[in-house]
A and B are shown apart, each in its own frame.
Chain A
Amino acid sequence: MKNTDLSKKQSNTLTEARINEELRALESTWSDKPGIIGWLSTTDHKRVGFRMVFTAFCFFTFGGILAGLMRLQLSLPGNNFLGPDMYNQIFTTHGSTMMFLFAVPVMEGMGIYFVPLMIGTRTLAFPRLNILGYYTYLFGGLLLFFGLLLNIGPDAGWFAYVPLSGPEYGIGKRVDLWSQMVSLTEISALIASTNIIVTVMKLRAPGMSLNRIPLFVWSEVITAVMVIFAMPAVMIASSLLSMDRLTNVSTHFFNQAEGGDPIMWQHLFWFFGHPEVYIIFIPATGMVSMIITTFSRRKTFGYTALVLTMVATAFIGFGVWVHHMFVTPLPQLGQSIFTASSMLIVVPNGVQIFCWLATLWLGRWNLKTPLIFILGFFGVFVMGGLTGVMLASLPLDTQLHDTYFVVAHFHYVLIGGAVFPLFGAVYYWFPKFCGRLLNEAAGIAHCILFFIGFELVFFPMHILGLIGMPRRVYTYLPETGWGDLNMLASIGAAVMVVATLIFFINAVYSWFWGKVAAANPWGADTLEWSLPSPIPQYAFQYQPVVQGRHALWEQTADSPVVTGLHINNREVVSTSIHDAVPDHRYGVQGPSIMPFVVSVITGAMFIGFMFTPWSLPLGMIALFFGFLGWFWSNSVEHRPPYAPLEDNPVYDDPADYKPVEAAV
């Protein structure tokens, strides 16, 4: 049934009785089991997505506290609040926590939560794999968190250059701890990305052809494709570094005495490093497009151009990595190619900014907190991008590299480019999480204070970089004249802490006592707003048929809904890649404890690898039994509708198919 013509199949047989009866079956089929085991074995993408976002914000707080400690140490010249060892551990853990444990997972968590809802389906393609991804991320994060608390945190910077991180100069197990954290978080990123790509390719609601996919979903699937090609580089690099460092393995990948090459580490890391920062930035552009469209009360200006900018940024993002290595002794001609590509990546970013400004210029503004955070985004990100342009010029970068100018640049683009849109999205989607609205006044106070605190902390860093202050210095002399600007930055950090506290208090208060929200409080256009909030576990009672790019705005009164899916097991309609024409009914597995078991084994294997190479074979044997249990539970739960070999019976009476309780 390659090209089923949608109209031919339509009939109106939905009666009150049938709707209620199917609703009851849906609720029982899609619900999780109660208790701790049920909580651990959920495969509901909404619960997993929320857990990922919540855990990421906990690591944001942890990273923020570390930032506060650094600002205290740097507020005075010659300060001895933190010794060099403690400071080096703290700045490395701050950078690694923010990049690996906050920025990437929070964008993935939002994708895991909202991508299935925005394309009108009830689940991700591989729900059990999804919960495995969350747990590996959690174990990686806890490893780094407890590493620092036990004073064995990594201390070679978030990009751990060899030979400082190598066996000769990287003391103890610190860098091994970092590289196992990297491996675990990258496994979770790869799992989430495979899930999101296949879901968007094959599970879109009927009618959602490629030119009708919401921009946030485009941003998540493009980011997922970047993850597929970027993460392996850092996983290999960190694992090889661990093998170099393990005494009874001691390979020589980066040992220049035995044919290894320290610059190869830099190539491997930054080949992942720059795509990583765009993996953090592109989902944020999806959020910006979504919020601007909803709050300008008009269709997005330049939809095709915006999709192009995301695709182009993703591609060129893989071709600029040597701009982090401009001052290494490599031939200048080869490196200048990367000045050219780093300069031209500005064109797609510029097109994005212009299309957003046009949408805002031509629209009528519903000036609420999400849009105010987007105004903050413009103010901060554009300056960050422009300092990036300065860094892209090779000669100029020889003065600016590894100074506080670069620290200013990446905080402008990370906090401006990712954290501001993220806060906007949290205010925007909060009703979907808990059915209540965040307080507007507190939201505006949070945004303004955060912006002021931000400028106080990071604007002076441009000047500090120009007057010679290098990165990663735990102290400096009074004669350098850097004291007062650093004091100003530390005061700003305190303001940011206050702003973030306002946000946390607002979130906790509004969760329980906030203003109750209707299903679509902002009058938005994407499908998740057609669902009651908070969202039931089965999400769509009947999957919608999409009739336009702005689904809810362009939905006709009699737009058809999908019926005929089995309600005794978890089933969604699977559609073709290009035009979302239904091609088969896709059944997914229910909850199971096996993903948690496998993730515990994986975590133990990687943590064990810090101490002995034998953890790899032992881990693989344990995984063999873990995956056997997983495969068996999958197969057992495969309900009768699929069992008979001859053919697939036409669905007629739901009574025939009793749900078979999965043994495991």
Chain B
Amino acid sequence: MTRVSSQLKAASLLASACVFFFSCGHGNQSAVEPTGLQAEHLSFLWWIFLAITAAVYVVVMVILVAAFFRTQRAAAGDEADLSPDPSREKRASSVVKAAVAVTVLTMFALMLVSFRTGRALDTLSQAQTPLEIKVTGQQWWWQIEYKDPTPSNMVTTANEIHIPIGRPIKLELVSHDVIHSFWAPNFHGKKDLIPNYPTTLFFRADEPGVYWGQCAEFCGFEHAKMRFMVVAEPQEDFERWYAASQQPAPEPVTDSQKFGRDIFLKSVCTQCHTIQGTPANGRVGPNLTHVGGKPYIASGSLPNDRENLAKWITDPQAIKPGIRMPMNTYSPEELNALVDYIQSLK
């Protein structure tokens, strides 16, 4: 199947090259650079549709331009032709009839290839032992829970999904507030998360790498900043990450880190955040046990460095207006210590 698709892709690329003189984009959040089985099917379907529709468009435009040059010009006052030459009319109506027949056949062909792709996408759901991950979309960030037989060592994180390549993944999608839509274009099409309608999405990563996805159904103020990262890595790297994530938060080493932890445990953060291995067990906000090691915070909208952490903790509303995390006022030393502590949570 990949051999046919690559030939077809080349052919249609040629035919539609003029259409895509601008195709840039970095490809790590793109539907036309698939890195998984499902997105491969969909990309193949995309190139077929593009080839056929581009051909139709070219044909229609050629006829229009030809008509522009071939027809004579007339003035408003010229006599309108009410009984045109019957032979030209006959020829024209047979051409139109043929075109309609071609349209009907093309539509049936496009229907069949769509239904076939629909069936192909469904094969993965028969996978015996998929890696099950529960994804909860809530106003404006993603909670990720790896299902594990023994609940105590379940891994809970936010806005970041690590998956082993080659293994089917079963996502259970749940929402408790408004409608969100989970979409990682490099792997699969999107699926809506609607309250009261838990649903599933099966996909598989075939190439390692860091890819991005975003909520696609309008869900309020910060719909634009509800991003998540998908890290596809070989099995061993995944297992190493998974084992590390199961550990509770590392003990603070430096005095500043210890001072930071005391501030954290005394302040309002504990009502909304959980850090395993400390009394903080709030569930309103993301799990911060290993937040230090994440490249981005605030659901992928802020690179995770000292300066951003400080800005985020003091005034999250400036970065993501409308979210539930309040502003916090600390003296510079306290803030410094708190940031040290948060960064130590690898």
Name the interface residues of B156-180: CB closer than 8 Å to any CB of A: 177-179
Whether A463 is near chain B, meaning CB under 8 Å from some CB there, is yes
Are B196's CB and A256's CB within 8 A? yes
Whether A350 is near chain B, meaning CB under 8 Å from some CB there, is yes
| Given A402-B190, A468-B30, A480-B29, residue A365 in contact with residue B60 (CB < 8 A) | no
Are B53's CB and A390's CB within 8 A? yes
Are B29's CB and A467's CB within 8 A? yes
Between A358, A401, A479, the greatest number of chain B beta carbons within 10 A of the residue's beta carbon is seen for A358
Whether A522 is near chain B, meaning CB under 8 Å from some CB there, is yes
**Which residues on A sit within 8 Å (CB–CB) of B190?**
327, 398-399, 401-402
Are A463's CB and B23's CB within 8 A? yes
Partner of B100, one of A262, A332, A347, A467: A347
Are A366's CB and B74's CB within 8 A? yes
**Which residues on B sit within 8 Å (CB–CB) of A353?**
60
Are B221's CB and A85's CB within 8 A? yes
**Which residues on B sit within 8 Å (CB–CB) of A354?**
95-96, 99-100
Whether A440 is near chain B, meaning CB under 8 Å from some CB there, is no
Are B23's CB and A83's CB within 8 A? no
Whether B224 is near chain A, meaning CB under 8 Å from some CB there, is yes
User: What 0/1 readout, one digit per residue, does chain B (98-123) give for beta carbons within 8 Å of chain A?
Assistant: 01100110010011001101100110
CB distance from A288 to the nearest CB of B (A): 13
Partner of B71, one of A299, A360, A393: A360
Partner of B25, one of A262, A358, A482, A488: A482
Partner of B30, one of A168, A467, A525: A467
User: What 0/1 readout, one digit per residue, does chain A (135-175) give for beta carbons within 8 Å of chain B?
Assistant: 00000000000000000000011000101100011000000
CB distance from B59 to the nearest CB of A (A): 10
Residues of chain B at interface, number, CB under 8 A: 96
Whether A471 is near chain B, meaning CB under 8 Å from some CB there, is yes
Whether A508 is near chain B, meaning CB under 8 Å from some CB there, is no
Which stretch from B40-48, B284-292, B334-342 is at the chain A interface?
B40-48
Partner of A262, one of B78, B99, B195: B195
Are A363's CB and B92's CB within 8 A? no
Taking CB as reference atom, which chain A residue is nearest B72?
A364
**Which residues on A sit within 8 Å (CB–CB) of B78?**
297, 364, 366, 523
Which stretch from B209-217, B248-256, B270-278 is at the chain A interface?
B209-217
Taking CB as reference atom, which chain A residue is nearest B221?
A84
Are B221's CB and A163's CB within 8 A? no
**Which residues on B sit within 8 Å (CB–CB) of A346?**
103, 107
**Which residues on B sit within 8 Å (CB–CB) of A482?**
25
Are A399's CB and B80's CB within 8 A? no
Whether A474 is near chain B, meaning CB under 8 Å from some CB there, is yes
Partner of A402, one of B22, B26, B177, B216: B216
Whether B293 is near chain A, meaning CB under 8 Å from some CB there, is no
Whether B294 is near chain A, meaning CB under 8 Å from some CB there, is no
User: What 0/1 readout, one digit per residue, does chain B (66-81) give for beta carbons within 8 Å of chain A?
Assistant: 0110111111111111
Are B25's CB and A481's CB within 8 A? yes
**Which residues on A sit within 8 Å (CB–CB) of B14?**
none
User: What 0/1 readout, one digit per residue, does chain B (281-314) give for beta carbons within 8 Å of chain A?
Assistant: 0000000000000000000110000000000000
Are B57's CB and A481's CB within 8 A? no
Are A360's CB and B57's CB within 8 A? no
Are B110's CB and A393's CB within 8 A? yes
- State in angstroms the CA–CA spacing of A83 and B68 once bound together: 48
Whether A613 is near chain B, meaning CB under 8 Å from some CB there, is no
Chain A: number of interface residues, binned into ranges: 35 or more
Taking CB as reference atom, which chain A residue is nearest B301?
A477
| Given A353-B60, A485-B22, residue A164 in contact with residue B49 (CB < 8 A) | no
Are A399's CB and B26's CB within 8 A? no
Are B118's CB and A336's CB within 8 A? yes
Which stretch from B2-10, B82-90, B129-137 is at the chain A interface?
B82-90
Partner of A396, one of B29, B42, B177: B42
| Given A263-B194, A340-B111, A394-B114, residue A379 in contact with residue B189 (CB < 8 A) | no
CB distance from B232 to the nearest CB of A (A): 16
User: What 0/1 readout, one digit per residue, does chain A (591-608) give for beta carbons within 8 Å of chain B?
Assistant: 000000000000000000
**Which residues on A sit within 8 Å (CB–CB) of B189?**
327, 395, 397-399, 401
Taking CB as reference atom, which chain B residue is nearest A340?
B111
- State in angstroms the CA–CA spacing of A632 and B78 once bound together: 53
Whether B235 is near chain A, meaning CB under 8 Å from some CB there, is no
- State in angstroms the CA–CA spacing of A163 and B79 once bound together: 61
Taking CB as reference atom, which chain A residue is nearest B71?
A365
Partner of B42, one of A301, A383, A398: A398
Whether A357 is near chain B, meaning CB under 8 Å from some CB there, is yes
Taking CB as reference atom, which chain A residue is nearest B77?
A523
Are B49's CB and A389's CB within 8 A? yes
Between B56, B122, B199, the greatest number of chain A beta carbons within 10 A of the residue's beta carbon is seen for B56
Whether A362 is near chain B, meaning CB under 8 Å from some CB there, is yes
- State in angstroms the CA–CA spacing of A366 and B80 once bound together: 11
Whether A19 is near chain B, meaning CB under 8 Å from some CB there, is no
Are B216's CB and A401's CB within 8 A? yes
CB distance from A622 to the nearest CB of B (A): 38
Whether A589 is near chain B, meaning CB under 8 Å from some CB there, is no
Name the interface residues of A346-404: CB closer than 8 Å to any CB of B: 346-347, 350-351, 353-355, 357-358, 360-368, 375, 378-379, 382-383, 386-387, 389-390, 393-403
Whether B191 is near chain A, meaning CB under 8 Å from some CB there, is yes
Taking CB as reference atom, which chain A residue is nearest B63?
A357
Partner of B64, one of A156, A357, A399, A553: A357
Whether A21 is near chain B, meaning CB under 8 Å from some CB there, is no
Are B110's CB and A362's CB within 8 A? no
**Which residues on A sit within 8 Å (CB–CB) of B191?**
327, 329, 398
Are A164's CB and B64's CB within 8 A? no
- State in angstroms the CA–CA spacing of A401 and B79 once bound together: 50
Partner of B96, one of A302, A343, A395: A302
- State in angstroms the CA–CA spacing of A658 and B22 once bound together: 74
Whether A638 is near chain B, meaning CB under 8 Å from some CB there, is no
- State in angstroms the CA–CA spacing of A386 and B190 once bound together: 22
Are A163's CB and B73's CB within 8 A? no
**Which residues on B sit within 8 Å (CB–CB) of A361?**
63, 67, 70-71, 92
Whether A466 is near chain B, meaning CB under 8 Å from some CB there, is yes
Taking CB as reference atom, which chain A residue is nearest B115?
A336
| Given A84-B321, A163-B177, A297-B74, residue A470 in contact with residue B183 (CB < 8 A) | yes
Whether A328 is near chain B, meaning CB under 8 Å from some CB there, is yes
Are A164's CB and B179's CB within 8 A? yes
Are A327's CB and B194's CB within 8 A? no
- State in angstroms the CA–CA spacing of A480 and B25 once bound together: 7
CB distance from A350 to the nearest CB of B (A): 4
**Which residues on B sit within 8 Å (CB–CB) of A466?**
23, 25, 30-32, 46
- State in angstroms the CA–CA spacing of A474 and B225 once bound together: 9
Are A161's CB and B81's CB within 8 A? no
- State in angstroms the CA–CA spacing of A389 and B113 once bound together: 13
- State in angstroms the CA–CA spacing of A595 and B194 once bound together: 45
Are A399's CB and B181's CB within 8 A? no
Whether A443 is near chain B, meaning CB under 8 Å from some CB there, is no
- State in angstroms the CA–CA spacing of A156 and B96 once bound together: 45
Please give me the 8 A-B residue pairs with the lowest Cβ-Cβ distance, nearest first.
A398-B189, A467-B25, A468-B29, A473-B224, A329-B199, A364-B74, A386-B53, A393-B114
Contacts A/B (CB < 8 Å), 9 sampled: A161-B218, A168-B177, A351-B103, A360-B64, A362-B88, A365-B72, A389-B53, A397-B189, A403-B216
Q: A358-B93, A402-B181 are in contact. List 11 more A-B contacts (CB 8 A).
A: A84-B224, A85-B322, A163-B178, A297-B81, A327-B190, A327-B191, A360-B71, A382-B56, A399-B190, A463-B20, A468-B25
